[in-house]
Amino acid sequence: MHRRFHALVLALTPCLAFAQLAEKPSALVARRQGKVVAASSTADKKTPSLQAIRDRRQFDTIARTYNPGTPREITHTLFIVDRMNGNRVHYLNTNRYTLHEDYVRQQYLASALDHKTLASYYSAPNRRFIFGTIGWHAELKRWVYEFWEGDKLTPELLNTARQAVSSSFFAPAVFKANSAQQEAVGSTAGVETITETQILGQRSYLPLNNGSVTGRVRLVADVESDSEDDIEPYDIVVLREVPLAIPPVAGVITERPSTVLSHVNVLAKGWGIPNAYVKDAFSIFQPYDRQWVRLQVSAEGYTVQPAAKPAVPPTKARTGVVRAPHLQVTELQPLSRMRHAASAWCGSKGATLGEVEFQRKGGHLTGTAEVPDGFCVPFAHYAKFMQRDDVRARIHAALATEGFERSRVVRRKALDALRHDLSEMPADEADAAGWIAAWKTQLHGVGVFVRSSSNSEDLPNWSGAGLFSTVPNVTRDADLIKAVQTVWASVFNFEAFEARRHAGIADEQVFMGVFVQRAIDSATSGVMITRDPFDITHRNAVYVSAKRGIGIKVVEGRRIAEQSMFDARSGAVRRLSRSAEDSALQLDANGGVVETAIGAGQDVLSDTAVRSLAKVGQQLKAIFRGVEQDIEWAIDKQGRIVVLQSRPYIERKAL
């Protein structure tokens, strides 16, 4: 049995996603997550506090351990600096007091401790008390002192705490910033600071979707390579790179980290399969290549255990149920006339954007610019195209290719050729003339994005994210016609075809609408989720992933985006990673997009921008009846937030 990190007991039940982030030890968070915070064997339950700690033995008598028995355990205690009494330090016995306020009340340090006064101890620059935590971080192998992420520290307060701790604690300790604001304070104060970004960046394991599965390990250097044998739905694929898309599989292990909202990770969430980043995965999993194993992924680590090859390969329940299309609507549908019901003839993407703009005009969505104008080419146009004899014959020929059913490589090549031919076929002259007329009259002939909006996207228990094509910044008549047919042809994208088969959705059930939308030259763009994707118990949080330029590269996931988490309770913005991008996409005046060089490692969004995005996200969640949302957004060159898509955040439970 192969183990990494904490040894696990294999189970068939799903695991909740906790402890992926480098959070501060917190009794409240532990209680929320149902975690155990363990006392040491030498715990002293009588002493209220210590004024100084001389050695580790003495520390252990008043400390407790957060995440016990894991690689990220933190043995810690709370401390209070009393600025009214010469910066006197109280190291609290956490076996008696789990919260700073409990100690202040029970030791009568303050005559009154109402909500307003308590809040001031986390916000006022002239506060009497500084509340902190100090502990041994097994992951860092260092002593660390830190503060609640919502604590509005100042450089003066930080230096006061640093000096008080250094003069009363037996070992050197480093300051850990738990918010972007605290990072700035540490820099201004000239205090050695470690950040959550640094901690997460050095980890060799990140769980992206927890769960367990029995399957065959397949080491795959390049998913799209013709040299690879067929990848089967029961395979656990180990990947060197994060691909743009992937056919249905039983589990995913990647050798390079990626953001949780890359297409591959969103698909894995939707399929409910174990998914993790493991450093040096190829060498670690090499002994298991083409062997059957039981894989379990959890917050604490992963296990790989040899398993017997089943007599019949396992299959998963088919989950895809598509909406029946409404083909009676043949007129192009402008955004201004589209509401939620239009999904029946235009697909969910265009219909949802119409609903978003309607709600914005009605005052229910504030803090955003108007949704970029556009129009929908309804399902009826696609249906007419697909019913043509030449189109049907070409599709039949592709599906009848020798070896199509047996070989993934043959299928990919046949589908590539099919898409090319479909996009090049002559369009219906009347329909094409209508598209061009709407583009020139309604959108004034400006550059447009030609986007998929099918009846097989954003379904309950089925996301379909990233399976179909978008053609960016179309600027010519002929290119618009070809772009519409390219989006239609993307019904036969290899990954879409494979996912559809796996879900039990017939080709004939899929109808493709096309949303033609005015292009915006984004300064920054990205995706956000109206919940914490790492911890389902963390309410009122918004996760934001961002990069500079047009957002195509954000969802591809080939490079790490800037990742932030906003917490409504604390008001804090936590920076989880900085963008690794060294280039950005911008609109090309001649059509399409152009890649430009940028400086890597710089902040993409300010804290204010993250908070503004989070507010928009929570409004969209309310508009769509409290359903968690997966939102594509942009910020234009004028600094305005633009909503480009909002869909339900799909997350199936992994087994």
Domain CATH for 236: 3.50.30.10
Picking from 627, 609, 622, 610, the residue whose alpha carbon sits closest to that of residue 363 is: 622
| 534 in the same domain as 462 | no
Q: What percent of the chain has pLDDT over 90?
A: 68
pTM: 0.86
| 268 in the same domain as 179 | no
The CA R_g of the chain, rounded to the nearest whole Å, is: 27
Q: Which two tokens stand for residue 387?
A: 């019913």
Q: Taking residues 340-367, what's their average pLDDT? A: 94
Q: Which two tokens stand for residue 574?
A: 């936590």
pLDDT of residue 465: 66
Asked whether residue 345 is domain-assigned, the answer is yes
| 247 in the same domain as 181 | no
| 175 in the same domain as 49 | yes
CATH code for the domain in which residue 609 is found:
3.30.470.20
What would the pLDDT profile of 505-514 be if each residue is shown by its tens digit?
A: 889 999 999 9
| 466 in the same domain as 392 | yes
Q: Which two tokens stand for residue 179?
A: 């918010």
| 470 in the same domain as 339 | yes
Spatial contact of 101 and 118, defined as CB atoms under 8 Å apart: yes
Structural domain range at position 602: 524-648
Asked whether residue 440 is domain-assigned, the answer is yes
Those residues whose C-beta lies under 8 Å from the C-beta of residue 7, and which sit 6 or more positions away, are: 301, 303
Asked whether residue 322 is domain-assigned, the answer is no
Q: Taking residues 81-110, what's their average pLDDT? A: 95
Q: What is the DSSP letter of 294?
A: E
| 272 in the same domain as 342 | no
Q: How confident is the model at residue 38 (pLDDT cuts 50, 70, 90)?
A: confident
Give the residue, 119 or 228, on which the prediction is more confident.
119
| 65 in the same domain as 188 | yes
Counting every residue written for the chain, the total comes to 655
Secondary structure class of 292 (helix, strand, coil): strand
User: Domain end: 170, 200, 230, which one?
Assistant: 200
Burial per residue of 476-514, b for 16 or more beta-carbon CB atoms within 10 angstroms, e otherwise: eeebbbbbbbbbbbbbbbbbbbbbbbbbebeeebbbbbb
Lowest mean pLDDT among 156-165, 325-334, 577-586: 577-586
User: Domain end: 291, 306, 321, which one?
Assistant: 306
3-state helix, strand, coil in the chain (%, to 5): 30, 25, 45
What would the pLDDT profile of 471-482 be if each residue is shown by its tens digit?
A: 999 999 999 999
CATH code for the domain in which residue 503 is found:
3.30.1490.20
Asked whether residue 622 is domain-assigned, the answer is yes
| 119 in the same domain as 142 | yes
pLDDT of residue 67: 87
Asked whether residue 320 is domain-assigned, the answer is no
Asked whether residue 442 is domain-assigned, the answer is yes
User: Domain end: 200, 228, 257, which one?
Assistant: 200
Give the residue, 535 or 309, on which the prediction is more confident.
309
Asked whether residue 4 is domain-assigned, the answer is no
Most confident of 11-25, 146-160, 547-561: 146-160
| 560 in the same domain as 541 | yes
- With 70 as the cut, is the pLDDT of residue 16 above it? no
Q: Taking residues 67-81, what's their average pLDDT? A: 92
Total domain count, the chain: 4
| 296 in the same domain as 233 | yes
| φ, ψ for residue 116, nearest 5 deg | -65, -45
pLDDT of residue 558: 53
Give the residue, 395 or 298, on which the prediction is more confident.
395
pLDDT of residue 533: 86
Q: Which two tokens stand for residue 638?
A: 């004028």
What would the pLDDT profile of 605-649 be if each residue is shown by its tens digit?
A: 999 999 999 999 999 999 999 999 999 999 999 999 999 999 988
Asked whether residue 7 is domain-assigned, the answer is no
Give the residue, 417 or 39, on which the prediction is more confident.
417
What would the pLDDT profile of 221-254 be if each residue is shown by its tens digit?
A: 887 776 666 788 899 999 988 877 778 899 999 9
pLDDT of residue 247: 80
| 96 in the same domain as 72 | yes
What's the CA gap between 23 and 14, in Å, rounded? 22
What would the pLDDT profile of 352-363 be if each residue is shown by its tens digit?
A: 999 999 999 999
